[in-house]
Structure 1
């Protein structure tokens, strides 16, 4: 992995105060739920109050602040405040069950847990759980759309407004290096339990650099931020890069497609990044044709393949829509479209960004030539430091990473101990020197064309073999999605006596579609061995994360012939 400078600098973590000194009166954040608007000067003062709260609650450098909340300004306050104090912000998904949250919180071991009122009962169940091992203070956030008494479900909790110090003057900042952790963001684990990805100040900063340079972001840019803030999309896709420049981020407790359209027009949005499902729902919304989208400079799709029909709907409105690619472990913004890119490259995610290297490798780790499909590997200074307290999966994904699994104090750094060593890598220096050399294994299959454009072919684990031929579901799904009766589709493998495995198309759409009709439609579009032999329907695709299709749930339900 790349080694960031370990020397402490005053500017490391000084996000809000630096931006306030440069863009004091510019609006950095809009709360669409309440209508409040916050300048960068106000955001810095708010962060100072929260920094004092963290210190009063005993959150020392490297210690974690866990949050169970929807998107709201207080999460931004906590991001800026932990940056100042050296704490680590660990937002958790409120969509998880109590059993899952207990296991995650035991792993994170927070010094403070912040809970928004709608999730007080869930938090209370977690805090009373027999398996609970962590011990921390609890602060309750009020919510405009929740009964205030729900906060009382949590015993021994403080109210946010009561706990928050009034003093908003500048605070003494921590002695931090680029190697110190700033964010824990959870992602899927091989055991089914989410694992925490350790993002350092350097990781966050370099992703911001890459995003700004690759996408051409500007200080005057405005975006509705539709990803949840327990997801890397909520922070690193667009929020932090715009804070870096002095742009404006619009957030809300809940976003639905019509509301995004309304805000795009009323706030004069210039950029938008969303998952394909959200972009599709916006393009089919009743207000689609009447919404003024003229201020949008570009739209990016991420989190899965964007269907051609969706892209064409946005192009027809004069909006430059292209696909991106990223993951919590690296970036997540790794690719960009060159100026004047041709539409025939729309199926690609573009070419590597300024400070990103990408390669496609075989199972043996050999680089593959253009046109061949293999695993995508990435290298960049914006890669994460590893997984928290998970050396085995850290080695599998990050190779020779020497990541910090514990936030260390300045005294640890002065001893020469790198904050990127120990538990997260789980290997000795000799073991690390023989590993992959800093390439992050994405688990995604990809190919590169002769001009360097990269095409994602699906998850490595989703590929199946039918009659000796490799089948990549993403490629099959793209063709099926062209059928007018198909809104969304997932192809999963099912057992077959003759071919070993064949595909089953699970479709959200018009259930009058028959397998025979679909097979006829795919004639000339897909090789025979790729065509699904079974068809099933769902009213709505199961999702995980920010409207991302949960393929595992689909396969568990439909993975039998």
Structure 2
């Protein structure tokens, strides 16, 4: 009988084994600088980074934090922390210093790597958090000064020249490797603990569900402080020996160029990114013929956007995941019908999915309840947060998302449990209303939020990015044959552009804060 607890190298062996199996295959391309790295290059860079971390005393159980855009040094640290048995904690450069300081205090890194443009904010965050790690500064592509630190050490100058193989400590499957913070929609983000085993199993689930291949190439449009930047497709592709193309900033034209010029075969992005690509001047001329499929995640993708991709011959479908589990949990079956476009598919090979009521009991097929998931790729919990861990992680992971399973076994996400509101005794699910409103030709983006009402308790308010000549009466008339009357919004507001949080995701909390009171 195999002892699953017996220590192995797990993710710490990946770059070395890839270098042995496919040394000349390119694993990483930096579209910002044009640099290209084979798997042999990546392993040599990781070995140099291991030696640097050990000079600073980083070993098993220690943490390395990084505040940076997507760049090769962050990849070095991913493999190097796996090799040293330590954890990598990528932190969002979009957070305010107090938020960043709280996360730094929680992670308590031995070493912090920070990219130049964010030096001042990170210096303030260190003061806020009361932590004092060794600081490595990552070079800047646009000449920003490396200021704000007492004794910053340039990463590129500090890494040793020796890139030969290093000894790696054994790790157990339950040992952590990544600390990824949540989106922070309810206060300061929580740090989610991802283990070696969970990373491996998510990779297996993704490869088997999506049919990833060793010749796949993807432009990475998620930031590497987000689970999308690592576990959606980057790590699974490295597992297979594919190629990941990164850049400092997202530019829809550049992504189209990467797909065209690099022979991109796989694309995963949030709906806003997919829409921006279709609106770009290069959309009609870019060669998308090698793109085997595209996935939308992070929120519902509008039918009109999906149809635009389908018209270019791209198999675009929706996915579903979360930092706490996966993030890849579902797949669309072969030959899926277009009328299932609003579904996220069926559970992946090593995922159990259930839809339950408030008591945790399964609901009848077709009924809406909370989606709960069970898989060996689930996270271990939240760092130093036993109460939230107990509330979310058990036999199943409580996602907080409402879902239903249709008669054909497809799962449909109906919105966040906390977003549902009751109007005149009827449950209203904003995602359903938003999907209907988004079909209006004058609407680009929409968020529906509840506001108080003397008669009905709560009613909906549609906050629209689009043509502000649209009236509430026109909108309700448009919805007459699409939604029951109690679901129609009773108020309408406009924004020039939706606020966002995370990787181009609409910040619903910001919308509610601005428009939630009548």
| Coarse TM-score class (shorter-chain normalised) | over 0.9
* 1:533 counterpart SS class: strand
Match of 1:487 among 425, 433, 444: 444
Instruction: Say yes or no: does 1:255 pair with 2:260.
Output: no
CA deviations over 1:31-58 (Å, ceiling 9, x no partner): 0000000000000000000011111111
Contact 2:185 2:509 in 1 (8 A): no
**Partner of residue 333, structure 1:** 328
C-alpha deviation, 1:135, in angstroms: 2.4
Answer whether contact 1:67 1:113 (CA < 8 A) is retained: yes
TM-score by length of 1: 0.91
3-state SS, counterpart of residue 476 of structure 1: helix
Question: Separation in 2 of the partners of 1:514 and 1:146?
Answer: 48
Determine whether 1:475 maps to 2:432. yes
Paired residue for 2:496, among 514, 539, 544? 539
- Measured in 1, the distance between the counterparts of 2:170 and 2:131 equals 27
Which position in structure 2 is the counterpart of 1:20? 19
Q: Which residue of 1 is the match for residue 508 of structure 2?
A: 551
SS of the residue 1:503 aligns to: strand
SS in 2 for 1:114: strand
Query: How big is the shift at 1:365?
Result: 0.6
- The corresponding residue for 2:157 is 162
Q: Which residue of 1 aligns with 2:81?
A: 82
Report the secondary structure of 1:153's partner residue.
coil
Displacement of 1:156 in angstroms is 1.3
Q: State the distance in 2 between where 1:265 and 1:447 align.
A: 38
CA distance in 1, matches of 2:258, 2:417: 38
Q: State the alpha-carbon separation in 1 of the partners of residues 450 and 253 from structure 2.
A: 36
Q: Does 1:497 align with 2:496?
A: no
- 1:348-359 equivalence runs, <5 A: 348-359=343-354
Change over 3 Å in CA distance of 1:98–1:11 after alignment to 2: closer
User: In the alignment, does 2:29 pair up with 1:72?
Assistant: no
For residue 143 of structure 1, the aligned residue among 140, 144, 147 is 140
Q: How does 1:35-50 map to 2 (within 5 A)?
A: 35-50=34-49
Q: Deviations over 1:468-495 (max 9, x none)?
A: 0000000000000000000000000000
Matched position secondary structure for 1:455: strand
Contact map agreement 1:98 1:125 (CA 8 A) in 2: yes
Aligned mates of 1:477, 1:12 — CA distance in 2 = 41
Aligned mate of 1:172, from 164, 167, 173 = 167
Aligned to 1:215: 210
- Residue 281 of structure 1 and its aligned partner are, at CA, apart by 0.8
2:11–2:200 Cα contact (<8 Å) kept: no
C-alpha deviation, 1:191, in angstroms: 5.3
| Residue deviations 1:231-268 (CA, integer Å, cap 9, x gap) | 00000000000000000000000011111111110111
The alignment yields a C-alpha RMSD, in angstroms, of: 1.1
**Alignment partner of 1:224 out of 209, 219, 222:** 219
Q: Which runs of 4+ in 1 moved over 3 A?
A: 188-191
1:223 aligned counterpart, secondary structure: strand
Question: 1:460 matched to which residue of 2?
Answer: 417
**Residue pairs, 1:262-281, within 5 angstroms:** 262-281=257-276
Q: Which residues of structure 2 form unaligned runs of 5+? A: none
Distance 1:258 1:189, change over 3 A: closer
What is the Cα deviation at residue 162 of structure 1? 2.1
Q: Deviations over 1:293-344 (max 9, x none)?
A: 1110000000000000000000011100000000000000000001011111
| Aligned-residue offset at 1:6 | 2.0
1:444-503 alpha-carbon deviations (Å, 9 max, x no partner): 000001221100000000000000000000000000000000000000000000000000
TM-score, structure 2 as length reference: 0.98
Partner of 2:370: 375
Deviates more, 1:58-67 or 1:189-198: 189-198
Greater shift, 131-140 or 354-363, is seen at 131-140
Match of 2:58 in 1: 59
Residues 188-337 of structure 1 aligned to structure 2 (within 5 Å): 188=183, 192-337=187-332
For the residues of structure 1 that align with 2:484 and 2:125, how far apart are their CA atoms?
51
| Contact 1:46–1:77 under 8 Å retained in 2 | yes
What is the deviation of 1:219? 0.3
Report the Cα distance in structure 2 between the residues aligned to 1:324 and 1:252, rounded to whole angstroms.
23
Partner of 1:390: 385
